[in-house]
Structure 1
Amino acid sequence: MERKKVAFYTLGCKLNFSETSTIARNFTNEGFDRVDFSEKADIYVINTCSVTENADKRFKTIVKQAQKANEEAFVAAIGCYAQLKPQELADVDGVDLVLGATEKFKITDYLNDLSKNDLGEVHSCEIDEADFYVGSYSIGDRTRAFLKVQDGCDYKCTYCTIPLARGISRSDTMENVLQNAKEISEKGIKEIVLTGVNIGDYGKGEFGNKKHEHTFLDLVTELDKVKGIERLRISSIEPNLLKNDTIDLVSKSRAFVPHFHIPLQSGSNTILKKMKRRYMRELYVDRVAKVREVMPHACIGVDVIVGFPGETDEHFLETYNFLNELDISYLHVFTYSERDNTEAAEMDGVVPKKVRSKRSKMLRGLSVKKRRAFYENQLGTKRTVLFEGENKAGYIHGFTENYVKVKAPWNPELVNTLHDVELTKIDEDGLVRFEFLSVSVN
């Protein structure tokens, strides 16, 4: 009997990519062959995201893409948007199955019959039933893997649907995370990126309770000891959960790299309060100063939202000036978009879309300036580069431990290897050139 083919499309964050990978491995274990989404498959699985407006709109386009490859194929929608708006996705022409937060990991149990449905079938729990944990890690390329250590969130930020889409904060057991890390290292992957919804909250909900069995510091301390992992990177951590102990550990660590991504969202305390963030800007300044004190060369990335309800020109300029003066390396800029069932969607002071767009453009311009200054500051320094696996227009790209993106003429022998280099100049495309200092580190 011919083996069935399955294809996956992932929208959204690193966490989604790690979960898609795990679900794909389940399919392989059940006797399916995984193919590229552009190829003809029997089943297309779309892992959805609800964070950006575009992710919602793109869903229909992706369904059409699947139907174009095979109009008889079975199409399943899973993930955050599937949990928040299951019926909306089920109503999209061509969708056969919609699975919510707890059901997505059991998708193969729902596939007894792959015949097309007249209407999308929905299996979606009440989100407070999402109280168990499924560990995941992604191996999309040979260079790095995303390792999920935590899921869900107990924070009540007024703009965010993630607690509605993913449920309460809960964590993987230490034993399981370390086992997954070992499995990844045994596959020859050099870098692991720790991922989750709110990873600084790690330890809560371990073994199904609210007591912290272990802390985030315990986790990074143990992971640092896992043999075979060359690099560990923390994906994103709330400023109020990024403690001095963790920063100190990273600064002295064997494997953790000097790169932090710390969400700010606004440089105005007035707006931070409206967002129900758990810190004020003064704490953020303190966290950046601590990182700089022990790792002057560290890369610090910042998330920021523009156009939140009630954000006046003055509030925005407060954010702009705050970020301009802060010693950070780049920004991820999000334009606020209304989300159903969030407090912010009911707030007064709606910022016109044009104004949101203009503010977003200003901050993206600032990000370019910040990244350039950071790269210039790194010229003449000696770093270690991990090379990626793709030939992009005749060049191979790689990242230093502190997240400077470099380029060199394509050489397949460099793929997934680490090399000591000296950063020499910034190319016209903004990437950094270098000279090799060693034949090979690894």
Structure 2
Amino acid sequence: MKTVAFHTLGCKLNFAETSTLGRMLEAEGYRVFRQIDEAVADVYVINTCSVTEQADRECRQIIRRIKRMAPQSVVVVTGCYAQLRPQEIAAIDGVNLVLGAAEKFRLTEHLQKLEHEQGRICSCDVDAIRDFHSAYSLHDRTRTFLKVQDGCDYHCSFCTIPRARGKSRSNTIAKVLADARQIAAAGVKEIVLTGVNLGDFGKSDPDNPHHQETLLELMQALDGVEGIERFRLSSIEPNLLTLDIIQFVAQSAKWMPHFHIPLQSGSNRILGLMRRRYRRELYAEKVQTILQYIPDCAIGVDVIVGFPTESDADFQQTVDFLESLPVSYLHVFTYSERAHTPALTLKPSVPMDIRHQRNAILRRLSASKHEAFVKRFAGTIRPVLFESRARTITETSEQKVMEGYTDNYIRVQAPYRESWINRIIDWPIT
């Protein structure tokens, strides 16, 4: 039996796709390892990200690590980095195959033909990518990431994703429901919908037009899937988060009170240079509307620091704006120069030490926001879906604890009880 090990970099979407690739190879008779250091394998597949230079660097480091550990192995690189810079990856010593976005889901076919050759590239013109490939993660977790949309028609000036994943396209509601029922049959209790631009769900291949379904219609259909007790949206653009979606989540027993909404900057000037499709006033309005209908809702925020020309005044506007918003936590990203993006033409660039200082400031603000959010619910009881992973409190302690998330995304710990794995338990927040 041949063996294959996977390593995933980047977003939830990548994890969903890696899991699906693993199941495809298992069906072909491979033994699949979920981590590269689990055992020495015949084949290693790296599913890459290219959002930052750090992600590119990490990919190169992993390739070198694999070849030290298993010099006779076959190394396959796919994902966004592979689509954007295939020649660069193919030149790395030890890489046998580079698969672009259109070839990723033909992995088994390529492995059947592959010999120990250096740097063969199977890529494509990103404009030719039309197919949607369903994917979902399915390991030992209580949550599953279900891909329902791919690609993006937005062209933010800092982003490489449209060049890496192609135009926006979606699964159909009927096929998503079929996936959700398979996930339910596997015993999973929570599904997180993922996509590059999730709010754009429903766009079809322009060469094969049909009734354009909507994200709200998908959510309403999923609400009736038996066996799944919780649904979440991974992330949604503020201009695509409609009042109908907010009101639906407010009245649904299955859709959790939790939204993650990218902001990127609290400066309207910077938002304009980023080519974002909203301004801070719209963002604030969305947050107020959510809390009007769902007072206990968790709201997460993506924000980028150090975008070109971001002045001290621009950054302070971001800090002040975030301080004024009743949000729950921040995901803070340091701007990273990406080849072939319009942002590269903007001058002056922000020195790297200042980028890091601004990142640290917002991380402290995030910690403060999250602490305040949790304290709001101290002494209350919330439903928690407990996960299977057990760990000890300290290195010297033998007492095991388990973790889980409340409906509004507060992570809690409880003494480990095997009978609680993958169950929703009412638990006091402390």
User: With structure 2 as the length reference, what TM-score do the two structures score?
Assistant: 0.96
Matches within 5 A, 1:130-279: 130-205=129-204, 209=208, 213-279=212-278
| Partner SS, residue 77 of structure 2 | strand
TM superposition shift of 1:346: 1.5
Q: Which residue identity lines up with residue 213 of structure 2 in the other structure?
A: H
TM superposition shift of 1:357: 0.4
Distance in 2, matches of 1:179 and 1:41, equals 33
Distance in 2, matches of 1:208 and 1:175, equals 20
| Aligned residue in 1 for 2:323 | 324
Distance in 1, matches of 2:139 and 2:305, equals 32
Q: When the two structures are aligned, how many residues end up with a matched partner?
A: 421
Tell me, yes or no, if structure 1 residue 13 matches structure 2 residue 11: yes
TM superposition shift of 1:207: 8.0
Does the 8 Å contact 2:9/2:49 carry over to 1?
Answer: yes
| Aligned residue in 1 for 2:350 | 351
Distance in 2, matches of 1:164 and 1:212, equals 27
Tell me, yes or no, if structure 1 residue 94 matches structure 2 residue 94: yes
Q: Deviation string for 1:200-229 (max 9, x for gaps)?
A: 000011685566621111011101111110
2:401 paired residue among 395, 400, 422 = 395
Q: Deviation string for 1:169-206 (max 9, x for gaps)?
A: 00001111000000001100010000000010000116
Matches within 5 A, 1:306-385: 306-385=305-384
TM superposition shift of 1:112: 2.7
| Partner SS, residue 408 of structure 1 | strand
Greater RCO between the two (CA within 8 Å, min separation 6)? 2
| Aligned residue in 2 for 1:53 | 53
| Aligned residue in 1 for 2:422 | 416
Q: Is 258-267 or 379-388 further displaced after alignment?
A: 379-388
Does the 8 Å contact 2:130/2:205 carry over to 1?
Answer: no
Q: Which residue identity lines up with residue 380 of structure 1 in the other structure?
A: G
Structure 2: which 5+ runs fail to align?
Answer: 393-399
| Aligned residue in 2 for 1:429 | none
| Aligned residue in 2 for 1:109 | 109
Q: 1:405 to 1:209 in 2, by over 3 A?
A: same
Distance in 2, matches of 1:305 and 1:399, equals 26
Q: Which residue identity lines up with residue 372 of structure 1 in the other structure?
A: E
| Aligned residue in 2 for 1:85 | 85
Distance in 2, matches of 1:74 and 1:421, equals 48
Q: Is 369-378 or 208-217 further displaced after alignment?
A: 208-217
Q: Which residue identity lines up with residue 80 of structure 1 in the other structure?
A: C
| Aligned residue in 1 for 2:397 | none
Does the 8 Å contact 2:159/2:338 carry over to 1?
Answer: yes
Q: 1:168 to 1:399 in 2, by over 3 A?
A: same
Does the 8 Å contact 1:173/1:207 carry over to 2?
Answer: no
| Aligned residue in 1 for 2:395 | none
| Aligned residue in 1 for 2:27 | 29
| Aligned residue in 2 for 1:296 | 295
Q: Which residue identity lines up with residue 58 of structure 1 in the other structure?
A: E
Distance in 2, matches of 1:84 and 1:138, equals 24
| Aligned residue in 1 for 2:76 | 76
Q: Is 57-66 or 357-366 further displaced after alignment?
A: 57-66
Q: Which residue identity lines up with residue 178 of structure 2 in the other structure?
A: Q
Distance in 2, matches of 1:315 and 1:217, equals 35
Q: 1:407 to 1:31 in 2, by over 3 A?
A: same
Q: Deviation string for 1:393-419 (max 9, x for gaps)?
A: 222111001000100122222211110
Matches within 5 A, 1:423-438: 423=429, 425=430
Does the 8 Å contact 2:305/2:355 carry over to 1?
Answer: yes
Q: Which residue identity lines up with residue 408 of structure 1 in the other structure?
A: A
Distance in 2, matches of 1:271 and 1:109, equals 45
Q: Which residue identity lines up with residue 46 of structure 1 in the other structure?
A: I
TM superposition shift of 1:113: 4.3
| Aligned residue in 2 for 1:386 | 385
Q: Which residue identity lines up with residue 216 of structure 1 in the other structure?
A: L
Does the 8 Å contact 1:158/1:274 carry over to 2?
Answer: yes
Distance in 2, matches of 1:93 and 1:22, equals 28
User: With structure 1 as the length reference, what TM-score do the two structures score?
Assistant: 0.93
Q: 1:210 to 1:338 in 2, by over 3 A?
A: farther
Identity %: 51
Distance in 2, matches of 1:20 and 1:190, equals 20
Does the 8 Å contact 1:142/1:389 carry over to 2?
Answer: yes
Does the 8 Å contact 1:387/1:397 carry over to 2?
Answer: yes
Distance in 1, matches of 2:66 and 2:427, equals 44
TM superposition shift of 1:315: 0.2
| Partner SS, residue 156 of structure 1 | coil
